[in-house]
Each structure stands twice: as C-alpha cells, then as structure tokens.
C-alpha cells in the first residue's frame, strides 16, 4: 500500500524532505492550496483534480510514497517570491502540480484531471 504523508508550508516541507528516507522507493509529491475551515482547498483547480489523483493513486506501486504538500493560503501562493516557486527542486508555477521527486516526471494544472496521464505517471517507474 502506498505510504501517504502530509506536510504544510515551505519550511516544514524542506525539513521533512531533509530527513525523509524513501529507501529507494518511488516518491511522488502533490503540491496544492491550503484547505479552508470547511476542509476544502481555496484552489478550485486543486479541488477539481483531487478525485482524479486519488483514483489514479491506486495504480501506484505498493512500495511507494505519496506526499501531499500544502503550499499555503491564496495570498501566500500568489506571491511571486513564494519559495516553492524559487526552489530548484520544486520550481512551481501552477497548482496543483504533481512531481516525481528528483526525476523529470511532472503533471501541472489541468493535466492533473486527466485519468490516463495520471495512471501513466503513477505506473511509470523510470
């Protein structure tokens, strides 16, 4: 079963990844907007993509990791100096963004609502 992790904010993300041990297993990371008090993200694109991502996650190798990263509230994300935008490992320009950690695989924005792309993303072990 895929091991799921959740992290909120840039500093927590950096700290988490510094200490994270994947033991050679695939690491997929989803970056999305923070959830509001009602439990729903302020990012409508993230809300739209969530069920597609969750469904496709079932195709991921059992021995893999899925890390959900909350990039912050809307003003934090919209700041062009947001560290998630500047970090060379994440280099985000849109949310939701799904990446394979330290690999080129990446889906951005509406690509995260395409079941076929998501299944290929999670099934691809290269």
Mind listing the pLDDT tens digit of every residue in the chain (126 residues)? Answer: 889 999 999 999 999 999 998 888 999 999 999 999 999 999 999 999 999 999 999 889 889 999 999 999 999 999 999 999 999 899 999 999 999 998 899 999 999 999 999 999 998 665
In the chain, how many domains are there? Answer: 1
**85 dihedral zone (left: phi>0; alpha: psi -120 to 50; beta):** alpha
Q: Show the CA angle centred on residue 60, arms to residues 103 and 101, nearest 5°.
A: 20
Q: Which residues constitute the domain of residue 119?
A: 3-123
Q: Does pTM top 0.75 for this prediction?
A: yes
Residues with a catalytic annotation lie at 43, 46
Residue 52 neighbours by CB distance under 10 Å: 18
The domain that holds 84 is classified in CATH as 3.40.30.10
Which residues does residue 27 pair with via DSSP β-bridges, in sequence order? 65
- The residue whose two tokens read 């079963």 is 1
């Amino acid at each position: 079963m895929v091991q799921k992790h959740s992290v909120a904010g840039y500093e927590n993300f950096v700290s988490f990844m510094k200490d994270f041990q994947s033991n050679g297993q695939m690491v997929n990371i989803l970056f999305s907007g923070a959830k509001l008090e009602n439990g729903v993200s302020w990012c409508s694109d993230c809300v739209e993509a969530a069920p597609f991502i969750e469904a496709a996650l079932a195709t991921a190798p059992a021995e893999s990791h899925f890390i959900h990263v909350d990039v912050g509230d809307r003003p934090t994300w919209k700041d062009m100096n947001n560290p998630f935008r500047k970090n060379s490992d994440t280099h985000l320009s849109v949310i939701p963004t799904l990446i394979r950690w330290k690999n080129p695989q990446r889906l951005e924005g509406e690509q995260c609502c395409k079941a076929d792309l998501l299944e290929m993303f999670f099934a691809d072990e290269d």
